[in-house]
Structure 1
């Protein structure tokens, strides 16, 4: 079960410090591993760009746990192991006639990892992926399983748990009947029109993403995902806020083939093959990149975007691309969208970490008036003293972690810096 090995994250910018990387083949093995370890964390798809998933002790890889996907059609839920990837889950649900409410841009990420960090897709009325969690099992510090379901005390504090409460072994998610989505891409939208009509832009479809480098007079691309039966974009319009329909499949990154991306050109198909930006069978995006994201309250969206455009001389040279998405408010304590609708300002950077971190310090200072909350799984500079005032339940979460893990078995340098303030 154990393996001494040097491992790196997906982007290659972080080498895991763990002494041992273990691959438990059952929940029982995972329980034994947790109980016998002094320090332990779970390692998912390795798509975190910081050290949130690291530890000086043992890393537990969950992909070997029971991979059964169990649909409960009566309660409209599905139960999966924590290491299941969204692409695998989506394909199985679609084959049985069901769907999730949304997907992130990458289907390759693990369910537990995405939920624990409040990873999200886009859509004015779509909560992040963690909002679909109806129940979960967590292996706690002594190796026992703590089961909780929506409505239980502390459940809202446990879902986006940052790995600080234990290791999620199993989750139950809300599902719905399958649905069709058509995806269209528009190029070179007029920035002035987008800013003046931002609510109309993001309300144009079930999911809308804007891709930009923040410079110039145009937004590079708009990815419009329209759900069948909802108010849909008119077929093949000549313009979308100044943008024109892309004549071929596009990739968010300039100069990269769109063949690795999900079906576009307005051709309808299953949600599982359209809501993510990238196809499961291809390597997503570019591995030699870094990522950051800041979640801004919806009422500050336009002002925050104007601020980013003002900083383009500093930001654009380091960027591969930036994405703007919208996310509905939720009530999960450590979610960046706790109690507020918002937009995500996502940055895909060139792999120059010292230069990126210098720009992040500037960005966080400039975005501070907008109460920007960083994505937990991506690069940011803020520590616990800066983050605590942004989360009304921050202190309650620390108290919950202290109760469930009094010895700090699941803590690491990332949590000490960003949550516990050690």
Structure 2
């Protein structure tokens, strides 16, 4: 259905009151264009629906010829964009249940991690990991295989035990890891291409306390022989560099309190920080999670940024590439050779580790990876010109990009690196036979 036809139809419906659910969930068009969190992308439609119930969601999907799901708008590319209609999951934002026997929590798919972690902790449980930002939705994070760090920690999607979504036929689909095998494994990291998630069940573990310390100025030469040891030094470890001094400016080590009995003054030659730091050293650390070995709950240490604060204005660009962990140092050095081209346009690069998983469209399917995450200045032309150089430098290691960040890999190259792509396309045909959830991003990257 074309946009003009859609608007005409909805105006007729208000007169006839034939579909009150559809009308009530459509937002009024705003004067200002709708953009993503960073402001680098203006969405291609003003038709935004915010259903409050599963029934409203079903009715909306049935009436739309083309539609995409919209979470917290933290993606930097067009994965959530649509030229016709978008559906926000913002109203699916409640904790539905905590099952203490099965050790699971079931939440509305649109809830942000920062909105339920405290309640989960008070019930005696914790998630296995969190991303650097707690402001993202569960559905969006899992659909794009968003992650934290930790050589033994899988992406946030690996916590999913069950998922409910409404597919392109308007059907409510419930899948669990326990009973649905390969179909479940394909539905978790779904890129929004199978339907709109309504609730997600996550595995949890007993709650725990954590401490965080930061070391400054780790020489890159230490990485050659000690990379695995360095990345295994805590429950979650992140390296930050701007590629200007042949060193890692900051090493963030997050550990369970029971595992951090003493705090060493040095770490492979890096010095223990004497105050809280921002990943970009020149910036104020007020919005960052507490460091200096101060004990706190898991949800106040695993993210880099505090849940009660917005970390920045969002005026940035982000790219991220994943390569096998065994190639980490070689990949690190391949990027370092580009330092003079990269650093003028860069805010910071973060390097993390993510454990292997079995999810079909996950970049970590079958292999533990190292992630090179670039937070760029919002210089779109310069960054777009740089990305092919980085992708070429990492090409010997067959890099995969983060699904929600900007990249320029040719579709044929990307598709060749996704071994389960045919199985995922079969799921798309099953759950979305008319291609309602296909957009430019899906068409280009999976079918182009």
Q: How would you bin the TM-score normalised by the shorter chain?
A: over 0.9
In structure 1, distance between residues paired with 2:371 and 2:348? 14
Number of aligned residue pairs: give it.
419
Mapped partners of 2:95, 2:186: distance in 1: 27
Q: How does 1:347-362 map to 2 (within 5 A)?
A: 347-362=374-389
Are positions 1:289 and 2:300 aligned together? Answer: no
Give matches, 1:399-418, under 5 Å. 399-418=426-445
1:225 to partner: Cα distance: 0.1
Q: Please, which of 206, 211, 217 is the counterpart of residue 235 of structure 2?
A: 206
> Does 2:122 align with 1:95?
yes
Matched, 1:32 2:59: yes
Decide whether aligned partners of structure 1 residues 290 and 372 sit closer, same or farther in structure 2, where only a CA change above 3 A counts. same
Between the aligned partners of 1:71 and 1:156, the Cα distance in structure 2 is: 23
Q: Quick one: which of 259, 274, 277 aligns to 2:301?
A: 274
TM-score, length-normalised on structure 2? 0.92
Aligned to 1:104: 131
Identify which range, 91-100 or 338-347, moves more after superposition: 91-100
TM-score, with structure 1 as normaliser: 0.97
Conserved 8 A contact 1:26-1:66: no
CA distance in structure 2 between the partners assigned to 1:204 and 1:66 by the alignment: 35
Q: Please say if residues 102 and 121 of structure 1, whose CA atoms lie closer than 8 Å, have aligned partners that are also in contact.
A: yes
User: What is aligned with 1:224?
Assistant: 253
Do the aligned partners of residues 383 and 408 (structure 1) sit closer, same or farther apart at CA in structure 2, a change above 3 Å counting?
farther
1:258 equivalent in structure 2: 285
Residue 186 of structure 2 corresponds to residue 186 of structure 1 = no
Q: Identify the residue that residue 357 of structure 2 maps to in structure 1.
A: 330
1:397 and 2:424 aligned: yes
- Indicate conservation of the 8 Å contact 1:69/1:89, yes or no: no
CA contact 1:25–1:66 (8 Å) conserved in 2: no
Does residue 163 of structure 1 match 2:192?
yes
Q: Computing the radius of gyration over CA atoms, which structure comes out larger, 1 or 2?
A: 2
Choose from 187, 196, 199 the match for 2:225. Answer: 196
Report the Cα distance in structure 2 between the residues aligned to 1:351 and 1:174, rounded to whole angstroms.
Answer: 37
Q: Which segments of 5 or more consecutive residues in structure 2 lack a partner in the other structure?
A: 1-24
Is the 8 Å Cα contact of residues 336 and 375 (structure 1) preserved in structure 2?
yes
CA distance in structure 2 between the aligned counterparts of 1:123 and 1:158, rounded to whole angstroms: 24
Distance 1:296 1:36 in 2: 41
**Structure 1 residue 23 displacement after superposition:** 1.2
Distance 1:418 1:224 in 2: 36
* Alpha-carbon distance in structure 2 between the residues aligned to 1:21 and 1:395: 31
Moved over 3 A (4+): none
Match of 2:90 among 63, 66, 81: 63
CA distance in 2, matches of 1:206, 1:292: 24
Unaligned runs of 5+ in 1: none
1:44 aligns with 2:52: no
